[in-house]
A and B are shown apart, each in its own frame.
Chain A
Amino acid sequence: DAGVTQSPTHLIKTRGQHVTLRCSPISGHKSVSWYQQVLGQGPQFIFQYYEKEERGRGNFPDRFSARQFPNYSSELNVNALLLGDSALYLCASSWGQGNTEAFFGQGTRLTVV
């Protein structure tokens, strides 16, 4: 079975641009969460989606948005990119009931120049 897949793996954008990151969860998993990990830090929670509805949001500005599709895949969108948005963006999927373990993808490395 395929694990969590994220695309693209690497991305370079210019300040002010917009970016869309994609995530496909493990087959059968209905919950997707997004995390931002800046260099040298632990991942920080951005969003959580379950059954296409937002179920949790971390302390991130409105420039960050996400959605989940009927097939449970998800997109993370970031508008008006800042240099500080440079980070590894991780997607995690879980089955969805209670606090089951989350399985992470390899992430998208975003560099804003």
Chain B
Amino acid sequence: AQKVTQAQTEISVVEKEDVTLDCVYETRDTTYYLFWYKQPPSGELVFLIRRNSFDEQNEISGRYSWNFQKSTSSFNFTITASQVVDSAVYFCALSEARPNQAGTALIFGKGTTLSVSS
């Protein structure tokens, strides 16, 4: 069965601190996709990144970076120099590969609430 675990329920940091959000996943598939979403208080899930299981290169986008390690089934997310606007709930998600079918059925973790204070 597929499962996503985000062990950190809540994290509080002060502005400009770096923070890493952990994500551990379980799947029997050899091909799969991993995602991170941000959910601000408004409720809308904002897409941050998608990574397929064959691409283990780390990725950096501005202050955001992602570390994918297949050996430990982890896909961690780091925010560098955090800002108050980063305060939100962050979800890690997994989907099986369905190349001949459409859409994405995502399996989400329970989320990590990040609070950044000034």
Contact = CB atoms under 8 A, between A and B. Distances in A.
Contacts of B98: 98-99
Interface string B82-118: 0000000001010101110111111111110000000
Interface of A: 30-33, 35, 40-45, 48-51, 55-56, 58, 88, 90, 92, 94, 96-107, 109
A85 to B, nearest CB: 17
Contacts of A99: 33, 50, 52, 95, 97-99, 104
Contacts, number: 90
A101 B91 contact: no
Interface stretch (B14-22, B41-49, B55-63, B65-73): B41-49
B64 interface: no
B44 A107 contact: yes
A58 B91 CA distance: 19
Interface of B: 4, 33, 35, 37, 42-47, 50, 52, 91, 93, 95, 97-99, 101-111
Contact of A42 (B99, B103, B109): B109
A103 B47 contact: yes
A102 B103 contact: yes
A94 B103 contact: yes
Contact of B104 (A43, A44, A101): A101
A90 B103 contact: no
17 contacts: A31-B104, A32-B103, A33-B105, A35-B106, A42-B91, A42-B108, A48-B104, A48-B105, A51-B102, A99-B50, A99-B95, A99-B97, A99-B99, A101-B35, A102-B106, A104-B44, A104-B45
